[in-house]
Amino acid sequence: MFKFSLSALTASVLFALSAVAPAHAAIDVDAAKALAKSNDCLKCHAADKDKKGPSMKKIAAKYKGKPDGQEKAIKNMTEGQMVKLTDGTEEKHKIIDTKDPKELKNIADWYLSH
């Protein structure tokens, strides 16, 4: 009886902890890099240095700790909004060529992981 109770207790604790754990899936870095490359994102953004646009590290810092950070990153990639470039000029941000929510979330999470 004690073994069953201990097993049941352990299972209950693990189940409860899984409910508290973030629901985010692991980032598929290879898929994110491939999507970024095929959309020329890496011509303007690099991991640690500014190019034509801010570095991924700066983008991540801008949205860090904000619950809508992923949503805002996706919005920037999908709506063609005006963006300020590192040289001070403005232009429309290129629209990424996918509508797949999983791909969009994956690339946004990859950017925000820097």
Partners of residue 83 on adjacent β-strands: 91
Residue 101: the pLDDT is 98
Q: Is the pLDDT of residue 3 over 60?
A: no
> Taking the domains of the chain in order of start, what are their residue ranges?
28-112
Q: Name, in order, each residue with C-beta under 8 angstroms of 78's C-beta and a sequence gap of 6 or more.
A: 95, 96, 99, 104
Q: Is the pLDDT of residue 20 over 50?
A: no
- Domain spanning 28-112 has what CATH number? 1.10.760.10
**What tens digit of pLDDT does each residue of 81-98 get?**
999 999 999 999 999 999
Q: Is the pLDDT of residue 19 over 90?
A: no
Read off the pLDDT of each residue in 36-53 and give the average, rounded to a whole number: 97
DSSP states along 74-102: HHHHHS--EEE-TTS-EEEPPPPS---HH
**What tens digit of pLDDT does each residue of 45-63 get?**
999 999 999 999 999 999 9
pLDDT band with cut points at 50, 70 and 90 for residue 7: low
User: Tokens 């509508």 appear where?
Assistant: 99
Residue 108: the pLDDT is 97
